[in-house]
Structure 1
Amino acid sequence: MANKEEAEKLKNEANKLFTEKHYAGAVNLYTKAIDLYPENAVYFANRSFAHIKLEEYGSAVADASRAIEVDPSYAKGYYRRGDAYFMLGKFKDAIKDLKTAAKVAPKDPDLRKKLAECEKAIKRIKFEEALSTPDSEITHVSDTIDLSTMPVEDSYKGPRMQEDGAGGYTITEEFVLAMLEEFKEQRLIHRRFAFQILLQARQLLRELPSLVDIDIPADRHFTVCGDVHGQYYDLLNIWQLNGNPGPDNPYLFNGDFVDRGSFSVEVILALLAWKVLHPSCMHLTRGNHESHSMNKIYGFDGEVKHKFSGLMLDVFREVFNWLPLAFVLNRKVLVLHGGLFSKDGVSLDDLRKVERNREPPDEGLMCECLWSDPAPEQGRQASKRGVGLQFGPDITQQFLKDNGLELVVRSHEVKEEGYEVAHNGLLVTVFSAPNYCDQMGNKGAFVKFNGSDMVPHFTTFEAVPHPDVKPMAYASSFLSWGM
């Protein structure tokens, strides 16, 4: 009885932390409650919900399954597992659980809405499969775009690229800087210029290998930034703090440029514009959110369609498919979005050979580049996310030794200080979206290397104000019901 009472007290404290959006702390207290009294399905379902908020969907599925084992009639167990499956893009599994929950709680209005959204997602997938074309017959949308059919009307008052005298336009630094200011005032550029940025960026990215080697001279520096996630005004702040990209100030942005934040279009066009203007001074790694499945759920699809068109969204997808998966700086530092691999002996040449022009698969090197996370425990474990894996300090040490490297830099995870050094100093996480989704309270950070020694130097920064457009404004409506 004493254990049961103490467990209930811990659950109530955890609920309070959850309400205050301290999700990691809530997980810890729910875990203590479960350790004292594991016969209560509510504790597992609540911890599952906290894992969902932390984007740890694999752990959320496991906890919801435990809740169902403890009490097969507990609707919230199926509800939470359905939520987690939906976030993983496993819509058939999600709808099965949500239907079971609906039988137990038939009057829940949020549940009915989620079921409808799930059914719509499945219909969309079936429709896309029916229209799919064999690879050998695919015509890329980007190859069909004719910029000459997009005249810039006299009524357009925004920034203009420089006319080239032959009916076309050339991107200039003056245009890019004016575009950044236009976006800051919540105005868009003409679609002609947006398409040109995309098409020129795609051509540049196609010419790169899946792993890119970068040499940094001894008297120069190089800045690596982590996730930005559509937080445009924080992106501008990075350049305010550290200078605009250019020949003397190169950058690498390490994936997850879009989704969640509601200025993702502005973020990705800004990054790609600098890439087109200074190809050797702006480098971009693919993140797990530069993918069709994530964009449908977390907002980029809806935002592009709202601000431009479905045609532009198709071109964005083709650009994302050509983003490199990893970079090596001065033959010492590996930079990739997620982490390391499920098997020993992976070489840099293996990464160079990955055929990346595709949507990310559910397993293999490309998937792990985008999704994996470090863990403090030795060896390898199943991922809390439900995709990729967790890898320990021994895995990092052996990989670096095998490949003659000194450090792994990755992103993919919110860190309270904007960065974290782990694995005995051999691995760095850098995250550049402060106060992530307007609720996490974290700092952002970037890391700078001097070519002479390649020692990481960190700069942290706070979030800056932005217009009153909430994160996830264009995301799947599924996320706003009972979440």
Structure 2
Amino acid sequence: MTSMGETAVLDAERAEEIKLLANEAFKANKFSQAIELYGQAIELNGLNAVYWANRAFAHTKLEEYGSAVQDATKAIEIDPKYSKGYYRRGAAYLAMGKFKEALKDFQQVKRISPNDPDATKKLKECEKAVQKLRFEEAIAVHESEKRSIADAIDFRSIDVEPQYIGARIEGETVTLDFLKKMMDDFKNQKCLHKRYAYQIVLQTREMLRAMPSLVDITVSDGDHFTVCGDVHGQYFDLLNIFEINGFPSQENPYLFNGDFVDRGSFSLEVILTLFAFKCMCPSAIYLARGNHESKSMNKIYGFEGEVRSKLSDTFVELFAEVFCCLPLAHVINNKVFVVHGGLFSVDGVKLSQIREIDRFCEPPEEGLMCELLWSDPQPQLGRGPSKRGVGLSFGADVTKRFLQENNLDLVVRSHEVKDEGYEIEHDGKLITVFSAPNYCDQMGNKGAFIRFKAPELKPDIVTFSAVPHPDVKPMAYANNFLRMFS
């Protein structure tokens, strides 16, 4: 018979073996597998801080920053002198935009390893970011007193230089010919003149402002409708979707379900293309807000830096304003509820309540609007805390009740990378669709979109693989010190 002590030794040895397998999975970008294996190692030996810190890092890679913070905190509790615990937690806080909490953790790393040049560099960057944030908070104008930047822009008075050879909008109308030329210019990494960029963004703003927070879409019998998930600045994959499924038009309408920008380094090209189709034919394309159509995310994940680099500071403010006009959810033929994130922390939410949300603001930290943009499904019943640290996780029972109470058949949402580009959960009542293949050039996933044909609206899922793009890395314009962690 083995004694308690011997069992513990055997468990510890086995845990080490599993950790090595987890490390291999991590190196192969198989982060979910790595999380599962680190979990097994923790079950055998929960007092090894390294396993918790490693699992925290894997959670970070899957954007599960809430879980990463929890695991890193556990590593710190086990070994308060383990600098990597603070380091991992600091990185997760940074990714959530919680700069002040991150700063505390990096200060701790520096205390534990005063001679580590890397820690010193990251602490400096973090201090700079927090100073900048404090400065911005100090000079910020209250939302209610803000003047609209859009009202101050007169694109008609901007001259186009004779030597400009890019796409041109003649008069007020965005045509398919203009769009094709612009898309082709973007393909060759040429910029659109800012006069036309202003025209597209301002016209889109007018249309979006007039829409309700919950938009009803009607698809006539025999017609079809396509729903796409996150595109995340992967412009060349967006062109591939149009290649496979045709351009948006009255006969071939699309809904893009949020997260058009950030991470991928062609976010400006993506957003101008989607907005230009909206201008060309408003019923050809519907756009929903994602959690990345917000100032705090754009500051960290690249869109702000990209717009500043390719256009100007004024455009940064203008896009922030237009993103606040994006509707929050769509319902197709009173049957299919489409939203970026997911459902709610309370039962009994009616479609009429969603329709009444005052959405013209930055997304709040809690409440219906926040949950629409941030929540995720979970395999267990009921509700649980969010892996992301924002919103919540909800089970099949929550989905079923929401559908029954609102007389709907299906929830379609995006917001999470899936190996096959989609996943069907909650007894077939919920589909996740994600349209950025090989996400961030490293996840190896497929992309997908869903075609619905009326009247049955049976989801027909089409998957596709990533296509090559010019050698500009994801996050090329992202916040300086976030890049230091990726």
Secondary structure of 1:153's counterpart equals coil
The residue identity in structure 2 corresponding to 1:431 is F
Alpha-carbon deviations, 1:252-272, whole Å to 9, x = none? 000000001000000000000
Q: Distance in 2 between matches of 1:233 and 1:89?
A: 28
1:266 aligned residue: 269
Provide the residue aligned with 1:176 in structure 2: 179
CA RMSD of aligned residues (A): 1.0
- Matched residue, 1:342: 345
What is the aligned partner in structure 1 of residue 61 from structure 2? 53
2:140 aligned residue: 132
CA contact (8 A) 2:173 2:280 kept: no
1:187 aligns with 2:190: yes
Pairs aligned (count) = 478
Residue type of the partner of 2:243? Q
Quote the residue 2:287 is aligned against.
284
- Output the CA distance in 2 between the equivalents of 1:138 and 1:432: 35
Cα contact 1:333–1:406 (8 A) shared by 2: yes
1:474 alignment partner in structure 2: 477
Q: In structure 1, give the amino acid aligned to 2:84.
A: K
Matched, 1:316 2:319: yes
| Residue 363 of structure 1: aligned partner | 366
Please say if 1:7 is aligned against 2:15.
yes
| 1:100-179 matches, cutoff 5 A | 100-162=108-170, 164=171, 169-179=172-182
Q: State the shift of 1:116 in Å.
A: 2.1
Q: 2:103 aligns with which of 72, 75, 95?
A: 95
TM-score, normalised with respect to structure 1: 0.98
Counterpart of 2:430? Answer: 427
- Which of the numbers 319, 322, 326 marks the counterpart of 2:329? 326
SS state of the match for residue 387, structure 1? Answer: coil
Decide whether aligned partners of structure 1 residues 136 and 7 sit closer, same or farther in structure 2, where only a CA change above 3 A counts.
closer
CA distance in 2, matches of 1:134, 1:421: 43
Contact 1:110 1:482 in 2 (8 A): no
Partner amino acid, structure 2, of 1:53: K
Q: Closer, same or farther in 2 for the Cα pair 1:477/1:133, shift >3 Å?
A: closer
Contact 2:475–2:483 at 8 Å: present in 1 too?
A: no
The amino acid that maps onto 2:483 is S
Letter paired with 2:452 = F
Of stretches 109-118 and 302-311 in structure 1, the one that deviates more from structure 2 is 109-118
Tell me, in whole angstroms, the C-alpha distance in 1 between the residues paired with 2:224 and 2:70: 44
| Structure 1, unpaired ranges of 5+ | none
Shift of 1:131: 2.0
| 1:208-248, Cα deviation, whole Å (9 max, x unpaired) | 01000011101210000000000000000000000000010
Alignment partner, residue 456 of structure 1: 459
1:436 counterpart residue number: 439
Tell me if 1:232 matches 2:240.
no
Q: Which letter maps to 1:467? A: P
**Equivalence map 1:245-256=2 (5 Å):** 245-256=248-259
Counterpart of 2:418 (choices 412, 415, 422) is 415
Match status 1:293 vs 2:296: yes
1:258–1:268 Cα contact (<8 Å) kept: yes
Q: 2:224 aligns to what?
A: 221
Distance 2:419 2:141 in 1: 45
The one-character-per-residue Cα deviations of 1:25-56 (angstroms, maximum 9, x if unpaired) are: 11111000000001110000000000001100
Contact between 1:79 and 1:101, CA under 8 Å: does it hold in 2? yes
Q: Is the 8 A contact 1:113 1:478 kept in 2?
A: no
After superposition, give the CA deviation of every residue in 1:406-440 in whole Å (9 maximum; x if it has no partner).
Answer: 00000000111111110000000000000001111
* CA distance, structure 2, for counterparts of residue 348 and residue 189 of structure 1: 39
Deviation of 1:482 after TM superposition, in Å, equals: 4.3
2:49 to 19, 30, 41: 41
Q: Distance in 1 between matches of 2:452 and 2:40?
A: 42
For structure 2, list consecutive stretches of 5 or more residues without a partner in the other structure. 1-8
**SS of alignment partner, residue 283 of structure 2:** coil
Conserved? CA contact 1:113–1:481, under 8 Å: no
Query: Comparing 138-147 with 102-111, which one deviates more in the overlay?
Result: 102-111
Mapped partners of 2:193, 2:155: distance in 1: 12
Distance (whole Å) between structure 2 residues aligned to residue 208 and residue 327 of structure 1: 11
Residue matched to 1:203: 206
- Deviation, 1:66, is 0.4
Structure 1 runs (4+) deviating above 3 angstroms are none
Q: Secondary structure at the match of 2:282?
A: coil
Comparing 103-112 and 459-468, the one that deviates more:
103-112
Question: In structure 2, what is the Cα distance between the partners aligned to 1:108 and 1:449?
Answer: 56
- Paired residue for 1:374, among 372, 377, 380? 377
CA deviation profile, 1:88-125 (whole Å, cap 9, x unmatched): 11111111111011100122233222222222222222
Answering whether residue 76 of structure 2 is matched by residue 68 of structure 1, we say yes
Q: Secondary structure at the match of 1:170?
A: coil
Q: Distance in 1 between matches of 2:354 and 2:114?
A: 50
- Residues 110, 481 of structure 1: 8 Å contact kept: no
Give the distance between the partners of 1:456 and 1:114, measured in 2 at CA: 47
Distance 1:454 1:110 in 2: 54
How many Å separate the matches in 1 of 2:338 and 2:459?
12
Deviation of the 1:473 alpha carbon: 0.6
Structure 2 CA distance for aligned equivalents of residues 107 and 371 of structure 1 = 39
Counterpart of 1:395 (choices 372, 395, 398) is: 398
Please report how far the alpha carbon of residue 477 of structure 1 lies from its aligned counterpart in structure 2 after TM superposition: 1.9
